[in-house]
Every structure is written in structure tokens, then in C-alpha cells.
Amino acid sequence: MRLRVNGQDHDVDVPEDMPLLWVLRDVLSLTGTKFGCGMAQCGACTVHVGDGPARSCVLPIGAVGDRAVTTIEGLSSGGLHPVQQAWIDEDVVQCGYCQPGQVMAAAALLKAKPRPTDADIDAALSANLCRCGTYQRIRAAVHRAAGQTGGRS
């Protein structure tokens, strides 16, 4: 099966029902995308498939088709993505395990809505759990990144 990840094509020999998450992690060694729940409840596995966010833990690789997959490793080709920079500036992370998923979800939100309201952020990011409770800073960081990305999207 052929899979396009972060701009590179890969031929992978795996069953069609294998979730994208485990192809990324166990076959392609792209471990930035995390396993948290296995049932699309926590968002730690969030990647972009095509233009939108997807929970890779429940997405069979056979359903990806020819859509391009972007993971945290491929979010920004040169330097940090504005969302990543905003996360650093707002001192968001704690344990950090959920944060690649949070960053991917936030980047997808800003692509769709360059100037999100708090309600937009709630709607887009409430599916991403953080057990350390960094939500207040996540919200601030999304707004900060929106300020930086607003002009270019």
C-alpha cells in the first residue's frame, strides 16, 4: 500500500484495517503522533489527512486513499510553525504527551478559521484531552498564533 506522509511516499506492507496511528509509529517510526485512547476520545493521535484534522487511532490505513498525511514531524518544513512558537511563548506544555495532538488540532483550526473566537477554539479543541490541565494556556496560545498567522492564511 502506498502512503504519502510529510511529502514523502512510502510503500507499506500492512493490513488495510491497521489504524494509521500504528503505521506511523510502528512501521515508519514517526513517534511524534501519540497513542492515548484508541477510540478517538483524547485527540493525542491527531494528524492532518488532506486539509483537515483526523484521529489516526481509528482511521484504517485503507481509508486514507491518496490523501496526503501530515504529522507533527512534518507540520513545518523550516523552523517552527507559528502554533509551535506560540505554545513555547505561552509556556503551555507540562508532561507534553498530548501536545503534538493539540498543536496539530490547533494548526488545522487556524487553517480553517484564521481568527477563531473562544467558542471556535472550544469546538475544535475540546476533543483533545490534557490530563495536566494546560487548557488555559492552550486557548491563549491559539489566540497568539492567530495574531501571527492571521495575515497569511
Partner 1 sequence: MSATGISRRTFLRASAEAAGALTIAFYAGPLAAQEGPAAAPKPLPDPNAFLRIAPDGTVTVVLSHAEMGQGMWTGLVMLLAEELDLDWSKLQVEHAPVAAVYAHPFFGIQMTGGSTSIASEFDRYRQVGALARTLLVQAAAQKWGVPVADCRAVKGEVIAGSRRASYGELAAAAAALPRPATVTLKPRSSWTVIGTPHKRLDSRAKVTGQAGFGMDVHFPGLHTALVARSPYFGGKVKRVDGAPALKVPGVRAVVQVPSGVAVVADNFWAAKLGRAALDVEWDPGDGGAIDTTELARSYRALAGQPGAVKAKAAGDIAAAMKTAAHVVEAEYDLPYLAHAPMEPLNCTVRITAGKCEIWTGTQLQTVDQGTAAEITGLKPEQVEIHTQFLGGGFGRRATPTSDFVREAVQVAKAANLPVKTVWTREDDIHGGYYRPQFFHKVKVGLDAQGAPVAWQHMLVGQSFLIGTPFEGMVKNGVDPTAVEGVFDSAYLADVPNHLVEHHAPRSPVTTLWWRSVGHSHTGFVMETMIDELAKAAGQDPLAYRRVRLAKHARHLGALELATAKAGWGTPPPRGRFRGLAVHESFNSYVAQVAEVSVDAGRIRVHRVVCAIDCGTAVNPAGVAAQLESAVVFGLSAALHGEITFREGRVQQSNFHDYPPLRLHEMPVVEVHIVPSTEKPSGVGEPGVPPIAPAVANAVFAATGKRLRRLPLRLA
Task: Report, in Å, the least distance between residue 109 CB and partner 1.
Answer: 12
Give the max Cα distance, the chain. 43
Positions in 27-46 near partner 1 (CB under 8 A): 27, 29-39, 41-42, 44
Residues 130-149: x where in contact with partner 1 by CB under 8 A, - otherwise, as a string = xxxxxxxxxx----------
119: phi then psi, degrees, rounded to nearest 5? -65, -40
Task: Report, in Å, the least distance between residue 93 CB and partner 1.
Answer: 4
Amino acid identity of residue 9, one-letter, is: D
Q: Between 54 and 92, whose beta carbon lies closer to partner 1? A: 92
β-pairing verdict for 52-55 and 46-49:
antiparallel
Residue with cell 514517526: 30
Task: Report, in Å, the least distance between residue 150 CB and partner 1.
Answer: 20
Q: Between 95 and 112, whose beta carbon lies closer to partner 1? A: 95
Distance between CA 150 and CA 153 in Å, rounded?
A: 6
Residues 75-94: x where in contact with partner 1 by CB under 8 A, - otherwise, as a string = -----x---x--xx--xxxx
* Beta strand residue intervals within the chain, DSSP E: 2-5, 8-11, 46-49, 52-55, 69-70
Distance between CA 113 and CA 89 in Å, rounded?
A: 21
4, 68 contact by CB (below 8 A): yes
Q: Which of 49, 54, 69, 72 binds partner 1 (CB under 8 A)?
A: 72
Residue ranges binding partner 1 (CB under 8 A): 14-15, 18-19, 22, 25-27, 29-39, 41-42, 44, 71-73, 80, 84, 87-88, 91-100, 103, 121-123, 125-139
